Structure 1
C-alpha cells in the first residue's frame, strides 16, 4: 500500500480549510465557559445557533431559487465583458440575501 505524498498544493489546501480554525476554537471555548458558569443558558445558546444556521441555509437556497441562472460559482467571465464587476455583484447579492435571512430569523421576525 502506497501512502499519499504531501505536495505544496495539498498542504495549501489543508491550511486553506483550517484558516477559520482559531474562530472555531474560540467558539468551543466560549461554549465551555457558558456551560461551566451558566449551564442553564446552554439551551438558549443552542436555540440561537440553530436559528443562525437555518438563516444561512435558507438564505442560500432563497438566492439559488430566485436567481437560478446567475450563480457566483458557475459564473463564466469569458462570456461577459466586465467580469470583475459582474462576479462581485453576484457575490454581493448572495451575501445580502443570506444576511437578510439570518437577521430575520435572529430578530424573530
Structure 2
C-alpha cells in the first residue's frame, strides 16, 4: 500500500471512533431502555434534516457566494474570503440544527 492510499484510508476512518461510540451507546440504550429507541430515532431524524436544510438554505440565500467558487491557495485575500464563507455556512447550518433540535 503506497503512502498516499494509506493517508486516504486513514483520512476516511478518522471519524471511526465516534461512529463506534455511537453504535455502542445505541446498543446500551436499546438494552436498558428499549422504549426510548423511537425518541432516539426521531432526534437523529431531526438533526439530519437540520443539517440538510441548513446547507440548502445557505446555497439558496447566497447562490453566487459559495465556498467552492474560490481557490484559497491562489490569493491571500481569497483565502480570507473563503474562510468567511465557510464560517457563514457553518453558522447557518448550526442555526438550522439548533432550531430543529430544540423545536418540536
The two structures have a TM-score, normalised by structure 1, of 0.88
Q: Cα offset for 1:27?
A: 0.3
Structure 1: gaps of 5 or more residues: 1-5
Q: Which residue of 1 aligns with 2:36?
A: 41
Asked if the contact 2:71/2:79 (under 8 Å) is kept, the reply is no
* Aligned residue number for residue 50 of structure 1: 45
Residue 94 of structure 2 is aligned to residue 99 of structure 1 = yes
**Aligned match of 2:10:** 15
SS of 1:69's equivalent in the other structure is: coil
* Runs of 4+ in structure 1 over 3 Å off: none
State the Cα RMSD in Å.
Answer: 1.4
Deviations 1:35-54 (A, max 9, x none): 00000000000000000000
TM-score by length of 2: 0.92
Structure 2 unaligned blocks of 5 or more: none
Larger radius of gyration: 1
In the TM superposition, residue 81 of structure 1 has moved relative to its aligned partner by 5.3
